[in-house]
Amino acid sequence: MIELLPERASFRVDEPVRVEVRGGEPRAAGNVRVLRLGDIVGEVSHDGGAWVELGVLPAGGYGVELVRDGEVLARTALEVASDTRGRLRYGFVAAYPPGADAEPVADTVRRLHLTGVQFYDWAYRHAELLGGGEQYDDALGQPVSLDTVRRYADAVRAAGADPLGYAAVYAVGPAEWGAWEHDALLDPSGAPYALGDFLFIVDPAAPDWLTHLREDLAASADRVGFTGFHLDQYGYPKLAERADGAVVDVAESFQTMIEGVRAELPEARLVFNQVNDFPSWRTASAPQDAVYIEPWEPQTTLGAIAATAARARLLGGERPVVLAAYQHVYDSAEASAADRATRLTMAALASHGATQLLAGEADRILVDPYYVRNHVVEPSTAELLRRWYDFLVEHDELLLDPAIADVTAAYAGDYNGDLDVSYVDAAVSEEATAGKVWRRITAAGGRLVVHLVNLVGQDDTLWDAARHPFGDPGAGSLRVRTVRGRVPRVRVADPDAAGHLVDVPLRADGDHVVAELPPLAAWQLVLVELDPEPRPSAPDAGETR
């Protein structure tokens, strides 16, 4: 098996791009071509060595293919960005045994183009992050080698991502509680709010607690090598009495806490968990670097998490949006049925401008909010993740650009008559509806993008449930009104097919043209350019642009 692996998860615009070629005995020679939105923009000869040098590339998402005798032997994607924190493709690690090899973690970062990695439960205690020395058991008895944590952090940074240390912003364990119970948040009975009998909750904005938290985080960044922090909470309480009798609006306390941590660590990458969308309306615009939401009931359907993602984009401005949508389904269903659930979850989020926290370690995905209880992936799932993460990167400007706008209501339907899709054997809906094709139209950089998510054959639209095989909606066609004197260009991309945009033939129909769409599996992205720019000519082998 041959694999292409970018040297880094994200390259700066002034940084030479290198791609590693792994596998094959001997390594395959051929040509390596670079694609931008499906068009070949560079091509170099490959002599079978371990690395391919692609030079400095303009900002954007690219596909990279190793080709011999017309056959694609392997492909990957890569990102070149002026701001490598402009996107958050988020992963995790949750085990730090002594002597562990950091390379498999770095490979996951490179393979899936992860730009941030959450170091879950690395610390000694929630209220005393560095109190355990070099080796200790964490608060739940998991062994931690601080040397392993450091080496993982170094490897993640070298692979082009930010290592983010987990820290609960208001949690205190029993051993430390005596020092902090004066800052407790009390439930209606007068007892401290708690996470079971394991952690007790304080006001995150209490001045002495916030000073302690800021100092603990700064020391952790210095001694461990974190470039930022994942700031966690549990979604409750919303309004509570503090031990001194003051009534605390916890949303405001979270805002104060984030501002305080930012003042302490002005260069750090900060990600705060808005659990079940609380309190995104207040903290999405706080001085943090993402809008990160952990969805729970009632956010149980594809439509619900899509709406949450869309709302988060509006609240967060330029910040990337991530949903920690844990796919518990892998613990209760066969991999094939769970993989279909993951396809639909990722399609729902990506088509609404968000990514999903799912993959990490060397071969794991998240199936539980306690990340130690993760799931070893089957080969089919690993291959799915590789394809779909490549797809997100290669088509980033059509998916995750903050300027993308939903224009479905302005273009689709008989009243507008500008752009729509139909299928012979299935209805099309602007809502996520079981048994139909879910259609959304966006405007991205002067182009129109149609998202088609296949819900044919499903009984419901739950995102964390085993899914039936995707039904066949029959032949599909796209009909678009033309601009006088212009021939539009229509291309289709499918993460489970070629992985990049492919032109489809058009036929005239009065003031419109009709494109016959390829068969729909889980998700298709259709790019419609009403006034297309001239296509770039393919360069000769050995030339890059």
Shared domain for 392 and 410, answered yes or no, is no
pLDDT score of 1? 85
CATH of the domain at 18: 2.60.40.1930
pLDDT below 70 — which residues of the chain? 25-26, 537-545
The pair of structure tokens assigned to 74 is 């392997």
Please state, as a whole number, how many other Cβ atoms lie within 10 Å of the Cβ of residue 251: 17
366 DSSP 8-state letter: -
68 domain-assigned? yes
Shared domain for 134 and 269, answered yes or no, is yes
Task: Note the helical H segments in 396-496.
Answer: 396-399, 408-411, 413-416
Shared domain for 432 and 313, answered yes or no, is no
The number of residues making up the chain comes to 545
- Structural domain range at position 71: 3-81
pLDDT score of 130? 97
pLDDT score of 535? 73
194 domain-assigned? no
CATH of the domain at 331: 3.20.20.80
Shared domain for 391 and 409, answered yes or no, is no
Number of domains the chain contains: 3
Cα–Cα–Cα angle for 429, 434, 435, rounded to 5 degrees: 80
Domain end marker among 381, 399, 417: 399
Shared domain for 332 and 292, answered yes or no, is yes
pLDDT score of 315? 97
Shared domain for 504 and 437, answered yes or no, is yes
pLDDT score of 534? 78
pLDDT score of 24? 72
Domain end marker among 399, 427, 442: 399
pLDDT digits (tens, 9 = 90+) for 486-524: 999 999 999 999 999 999 999 999 999 999 999 999 999
Shared domain for 68 and 118, answered yes or no, is no
Amino acid at 6: P
pLDDT score of 543? 61
Shared domain for 434 and 515, answered yes or no, is yes
Residue pair 66/4 in contact (Cβ under 8 Å)? The answer is yes
Shared domain for 140 and 49, answered yes or no, is no
Shared domain for 162 and 36, answered yes or no, is no
184 domain-assigned? no
162 domain-assigned? yes
pLDDT score of 84? 87
CATH of the domain at 455: 2.60.40.1180
173 domain-assigned? no
Euclidean distance between CA atoms 478 and 536, whole angstroms? 25
243 domain-assigned? no
Establish how many alpha carbons lie within 13 A of residue 327's alpha carbon, considering only the half-sphere containing its beta carbon. Answer: 28
Shared domain for 440 and 457, answered yes or no, is yes
Euclidean distance between CA atoms 353 and 370, whole angstroms? 26
Shared domain for 327 and 417, answered yes or no, is no
